[in-house]
A and B are shown apart, each in its own frame.
Chain A
C-alpha cells in the first residue's frame, strides 16, 4: 500500500550494529504499529503507538526501541543487532474511527543480521 512506506526495503547488517527502520504514512492515522514476521510464527507485535505521545510495548519488545517523531513517522531501532533479529519487519497504521481498526500495512523491510 503506497500510503504506508518503509525504508529501507532490504538491509544486511552485522551483529552488534545499530540500525533504524523507518515508516511513514500519508493516511492521517493516529495509530501505528511495528510487527515482525517469521516463517511459521505469523506476525508478532513489537511496539505500537496511539499518538505522538503514546508508546507501548508489544509482545516481543526486548532488543528494540521506537520513536514517534510525528503523526506520520514511526521508527524502529535495533540498538545492537543480533542474528535472531533476522526477519521481515512490517509497519502498519489504523484509525480508531468508523474503519473499526482495519490495519494498513507497509511493504516490509527484510533484515538480515550476520
Chain B
C-alpha cells in the first residue's frame, strides 16, 4: 500500500533562514515523488518532482528536494526562506510500477515564515 507521512503539521522559520519540510513515503515498488504548494484560496501548484537520476531535484521558487531511498524520504528544502513562501505544502507519491497513475498525498505542512 502507498502512503505519505508529513510528520510536522506546522513549520515556523525566520526570513533568511534555511527551511526544511519533511516527507517520508511507503510504496510497494519504486516511487515517483512530488511536492505541491497551496497558497490561500488557491489550488495546488506543482513545485518539483523526482522521477529518476540525480537524487537532488531543483524546482520552482528556489526550492529543492533530496530523494533518499534508504530512508524513504523526500524532504523539501530552501537555503533562504522568504515571507512569501508561507503556504501549505503537500508531498505526494506514486508507485512507479502502477498503471493506475494516481497520487497519494500527505496531510500537508503549514509553513510560516516570519519577517
Say yes or no: B49 contacts A40, CB within 8 Å. Answer: no
Checking A41, A43, A90, A102 against B49 with a beta-carbon cut-off of 8 angstroms, the contacting residue is A102
Any A CB within 8 A of the CB of B105 = yes
Given A48-B102, A101-B94, A101-B103, are A42 and B43 neighbors across the interface (CB < 8 Å)?
no
B contacts with A: majority SS: loop
Residue pair B107, A41 in contact (C-beta under 8 Å): yes
Interface residues of B in 92-109 (CB under 8 A from A): 94, 100-103, 105-108
Main secondary structure of the interface of A (DSSP, over half): strand
Query: Measuring CB to CB, which residues of chain A are less than 8 angstroms from any residue of chain B?
Result: 1, 4, 31, 33, 40-45, 48, 50, 56, 58, 90, 92, 94, 96, 100-108
List the 5 closest A-B pairs by CB distance, nearest first.
Answer: A105-B43, A42-B107, A105-B44, A43-B105, A42-B105
Q: A92 CA to B43 CA in the complex, in Å?
A: 9
